[in-house]
Amino acid sequence: MTNCPAYQPNPVPARAGVGLKAEHYSKILETKPDVGWFEVHPENYMGEGGSPHAYLSEMRARYPLSLHGVGMSLGGVSPLDPDHLARFSSLVRRYEPGLISEHLAWSTHEGEFLNDLLPLPLTDEALVLMSDHVDQMQNALGRKILVENPSTYLAFKGETMSEPIFLHALSKRAGCGILLDVNNVYVSACNHGFSAEAYIDEINAGLIGEVHLAGHAVEAVGNVDLRIDDHGSEVCSEVWRLYERLIARVGPKPTLIEWDTNIPAWELLLGEARKAQAMLDQSDLVLGRRHGDALLA
């Protein structure tokens, strides 16, 4: 990639951000909304040039940026695709994102891309494999990444640890952080019958580098309601309550409104970001008061 502007590193603030969609490019550039940052899937920008890069360059000149990968297949048994890793690295050098993330999932097998984020068994063997791939990705990028918890719809026999314990162990082995998707926690908790609150409370606050909020669908499977993480609607009230619980404990974190299907009007998406920002502001105020009370005690 040539003739690209040089960006200085621009950290992502502990504010509400929005997933950047082509449908909203013009509206955002016209109105210059007061949002903290934007996140993009790097796979949509791996070509050499064209209008996607023209728009993204304008966005990056005005806002901090996060790259959220969906195609690295860190949990797969196959080696990481060197071409994909090289293109990802090129984007990192080009745009200097404040945050970089991928998934606790796999999506390739024997050279075939499966176009889905599939879960892996939470075992010691999977931990070693995942850690090696995270380490390889971080070394190639020269940057620390965050790994996102998935939404899941089945459990594997023979698992040896819970998802929070697996994520903590992965962070310790590979030196990565955690992208905590609160909607995914809620979806998985409902599908498997565990406590979403207990999961949220267990995650080490110091490892959380980013938070995702999204909507999900509910589908009847026989006589059971299955929740599907489709990123196609507003954040539900239960997920908002979990988010409020989280930031009351860990403090403000960069928080993304993730809406990838049934793309809404910009005003609706911005309204969701404003809800998250109001909660972040309130959390900051409450934690500040607590800190002040402690100093006076």
What CA–CA distance (Å, rounded) separates 106 from 77? Answer: 8
Q: What is the pLDDT of residue 108?
A: 74
Of the candidate ranges 56-60, 141-145, 217-221, 245-249, the one whose mean pLDDT is the lowest: 217-221
The residue among 232, 237, 266, 239 whose CA lies nearest residue 255 is 239
Please tell me which residue, 225 or 64, carries the higher pLDDT value: 64
Other CB atoms closer than 10 Å to residue 235's CB: what's the count?
A: 22
Q: Where are the alpha helices (DSSP H) in 15-107?
A: 25-31, 51-62, 82-95
The amino acid that residue 50 corresponds to is: G
Give residue 110's pLDDT band: very low, low, confident or very high (50, 70, 90): low
pLDDT at 1 over 70: no
pTM for the full model? 0.92
Write out pLDDT tens, residues 48-73. Answer: 878 999 999 999 999 999 999 999 99
pLDDT digits 0-9 by tens, 280-291: 999 877 777 555
Instruction: State the pLDDT at residue 37.
Output: 98
Q: Residue 295: is its pLDDT beyond 50?
A: no
18 has a pLDDT exceeding 60: yes
CA distances to 65, 68, 81, 158 from 126, in Å: 31, 22, 18, 12
Asked if the model's pLDDT at residue 119 lies above 50, the reply is: yes
Task: List, in order of start, the domains of the chain with CATH numbers.
Answer: 16-296 (3.20.20.150)
Instruction: Give the residue among 65, 128, 73 at the shortest CA–CA distance from 102.
Output: 73
pLDDT at residue 286, rounded to an integer: 73
Residue 148: strand pairing partners: 103, 179
Count of C-beta atoms within a 10 Å radius of residue 207: 19
